[in-house]
Amino acid sequence: MATEEQMKNPLLVGKAIRAQLEEEIPVDLPLDRDFREGSEYTITDHMQDLHTKLVKDPRTLELFSSMITHLHAFAREVRPTHDEWEKTITFLTRCGKESTEFKNEFICLSDVLGMSALIDELNHPKPLGCTDSCEEGPFWYTDMPELPSGCSIASSDTTGESMFFEATIKDTKGQPVKGAKVDLWQADGDGIYDVQEPEREEPNDRGRIIAEEDGSFCYRGVLPTAYPIPSDGPVGDLLRLLGRHPHRSSHIHFHLRAPGFDPLTTALYPSHSPFLGTDPVFATKKSLICDVYPESDPSRWAEMGFRDDEVRNGRVWVWKFNFVLATIDEVNALK
């Protein structure tokens, strides 16, 4: 083990390290035994021993010990060549270089490898019968306009066919969840979100609605359509390599929050949409797919709050769903 005096000896240590030693003296440990693949003491064992002695936070030690174990086991199983590993490093380097404020390739990578969906499920287990969750995606923001139930969330110039969405919010015992706050946001009939329209100054196709006393809420808007995740970078190249596409099926996003209940982030999907089984980010779940039907009776349009001149193509798409929330105690019990 090197002493502090040896670390500062210009005969042994270059000036870059000597400059750093003015701030902090690193822990130095002796190398008591050799490590070699195929022996009873490998580089994996050496790294675990080293971290056990140096890492102070137990959770950090747990995370990195497990990661190293599985990463090294992967390498031993598939035996990547130097060229294959170099391609991997080049790919990850591209993810960093090509990430921007509006397109984070590492988040996209987490999504398309199923990690985002898995981490969400691990952190938000649901009792049987509760509404499944999924990741919120990149288009939610906190400054939602607060709107009454029954309102329209879409401006008159929004592209898309008319839609009426109505839902109930209940607990696992079938009782209504009163006063739940519901954030909802969606793409329009061209698959475009308001934040993707630089000329638009006011929020559109989004809002925050407080559920009624009976746990219900509804709104008028337009039927969303499918759209792609960014595919012009390394993650798009990865999808093509795997024979997959970047297209997400049509959906509406929701945040539901109520005192005493585990917050729910989810999305609903119409059964007529393509790409339900090949969602690139694995946010589509069978329990979240809904039958949506066209209503052509003008008297029903009026009941929903539409004027005849607001309805396009002679129909309103009706979308219904029953949300079931778990309490915080129920989720903690599952964890």
pLDDT for res 95: 96
332 vs 335: CA distance, rounded Å: 5
Residue 111 belongs to what H/E stretch? helix 105-112
Is residue 213 within 8 Å of residue 180, measured between CB atoms?
Answer: no
**Dihedral angle computed from the Cα positions of residues 222, 227, 230 and 232, in that order, rounded to the nearest 10 degrees:** -130
In the structure encoding, which two tokens stand for residue 216, read together? 């219900």
Residue type at position 236: G
Is residue 177 within 8 Å of residue 170, measured between CB atoms?
Answer: yes
Is residue 332 within 8 Å of residue 265, measured between CB atoms?
Answer: no
Residue type at position 105: E
Q: What is the CA angle 256-289-178, rounded to 5?
A: 25
Nearest to 183 by CA among 213, 129, 215, 147: 147
- Band (pLDDT 50/70/90 cuts) for residue 85 is very high
Specify the pairing of strand 227-228 against strand 316-325: unpaired
Is residue 217 within 8 Å of residue 169, measured between CB atoms?
Answer: yes
Nearest to 182 by CA among 151, 148, 209: 209
pLDDT for res 1: 64
Torsion angles phi and psi, residue 94, rounded to 5: -60, -40
pLDDT for res 144: 87
Domains located in the chain, CATH noted: 4-78 (no CATH), 112-333 (2.60.130.10)
Rounded to an integer, the average pLDDT of 65-77 is 97
Helix then strand then coil, in percent of the chain rounded to 5, is 30, 20, 50
- Band (pLDDT 50/70/90 cuts) for residue 238 is very high
Is residue 317 within 8 Å of residue 293, measured between CB atoms?
Answer: yes
Rounded to an integer, the average pLDDT of 187-212 is 91
Given a cut of 90, is residue 18 above it in pLDDT? no
Residue type at position 77: E
* Cα-based distances in Å from 147 to 150, 151, 209, 219: 9, 7, 5, 9
Predicted structure pTM score? 0.87
Specify the pairing of strand 206-210 against strand 146-147: parallel
**Which residues, 6 or more positions from 61, have their beta carbon under 8 angstroms from its beta carbon?**
51, 52, 55
Given a cut of 70, is residue 13 above it in pLDDT? yes
Burial of 49 (0-12, 13-18, 19+ CB in 10 A): middle
How do residues 283-313 score in pLDDT, each as one tens digit?
Answer: 999 999 999 999 999 999 999 999 988 998 9
